[in-house]
Amino acid sequence: MAEKKFKAGTEEPEDKLVAKAKKGDIYSFERLVERYQKKIYYLAFRMTRSHEAADDLAQESFIKTFYFLKSFKEGYSFYAWVNRICMNLTLNYLKRQKFTVTESQLPQGYLEMVEDTGKADASEELIRDELTRKIENEIDHLPAEFRAVFILKTYEELSYKEIAKTLKISKGTVMSRLFRARERLQKSLKGYL
């Protein structure tokens, strides 16, 4: 009944869904998952470059979030909380896997999966594709800690303070890691940028 009720209903405010989920309402929590599943999945994917790993990590992040929901303080961002859990799980996973992805490891037809958003002419698009692939490859080769900071800043657009909180490191460390990550990328992409 509850399921039907939620499915039929319109967008419920996040804080209400969280409050219900905290009381054990798993269907309210499902709504929250639906809301943030893509963002969490892509965060995990950017870090691991593996669909299977990203799928597992994203699911595990939500499951953990549900179990620790009682310690979640109302008024805070639910997504920031899931994001933090996901990033910690991903970093632990990478430490276990010593995960590094090379271009050859990427799934075949990977680029075909991506929507074509380019509007420039063919030759310019080719150059851009090459640069993007190069950047992607270089990001993948960054140490996990550097990559995490870079991803959280560039794609999640978090502030230094938020990144520091997510990764449980100091603001100074965030600045240092971000600077080094960018420096490495700039160095390896010299001539392209």
Partner 1 sequence: MKCKDVDKLLHLYFDGELDAEKSKELEEHFLTCQDCAAKLQELENLEENARRIRMPEPSADYWKTFAERVRNEIIIRRKKSIWARLKSGWESFFFYSPVKLRIAAGIATILLVFIVGKLYWNYKGKELERVRSERMEKVLSIPAQQKPEIQTPAVKESLQTNKHAKETTFVQPKPSTVEQKALQLSASPESKPSEQAEKKVELQAPSESVISLAGEKAQGEKGAGESRAPELQKSITVTAERPKIEKGVTANLRTITQAEMVRQPSILPETTLYIPKLPEKKPATATTIVRAPTTVKKDERLLSAESIKYYKIDTNWVRALTEKDLLIEADTLKKVISSWIEYFEKKPVSEWAPEGFSQVKIAYELLFLKTSDDTLLQEGIKLLNRYKDSVTNQKTKDELAKKILELEALKKK
Report phi then psi at 67, rounded to 5.
-70, -30
Nearer CB in complex with partner 1: 19/175: 175
- Positions 50 through 109 that interact with partner 1 (CB under 8 A): 51, 58-59, 62-63, 66-67, 92, 95-96, 107
Nearer CB in complex with partner 1: 5/75: 5
CB 21 within 8 A of CB 3: no
CB of 32 to partner 1, least distance (A): 9
CB 43 within 8 A of CB 86: yes
46 lies in the site for partner 1, by CB under 8 A = yes
> Which one of residues 16, 124, 155, 170 is an interface residue with partner 1 (CB under 8 A)?
155
Taking CB under 8 A as the binding criterion, the range among 9-17, 73-81, 83-91, 179-187 that sits at the site for partner 1 is 179-187
Nearer CB in complex with partner 1: 37/173: 37
CB of 4 to partner 1, least distance (A): 14
> Which one of residues 91, 101, 135, 169 is an interface residue with partner 1 (CB under 8 A)?
135
Q: Tell me, letter by letter, the H, E, C secondary structure of the chain.
A: CHHHHHHHCCCCCHHHHHHHHHCCCHHHHHHHHHHHHHHHHHHHHHHHCCHHHHHHHHHHHHHHHHHCHHHCCCCCCHHHHHHHHHHHHHHHHHHHHCCCCCHHHCCCCHHHHCCCCCCCCHHHHHHHHHHHHHHHHHHHCCCHHHHHHHHHHHCCCCCHHHHHHHHCCCHHHHHHHHHHHHHHHHHHCCCCC
Report phi then psi at 182, rounded to 5.
-65, -40
169 lies in the site for partner 1, by CB under 8 A = no
CB of 43 to partner 1, least distance (A): 11
CB of 136 to partner 1, least distance (A): 5
Q: Which residues bind partner 1 (CB under 8 A)?
A: 26-27, 29-31, 33-34, 37-38, 41-42, 45-46, 51, 58-59, 62-63, 66-67, 92, 95-96, 107, 110-111, 113-115, 117, 128, 131-132, 135-136, 139, 150, 153-155, 159-160, 175, 178-179, 182, 185-186, 189, 193
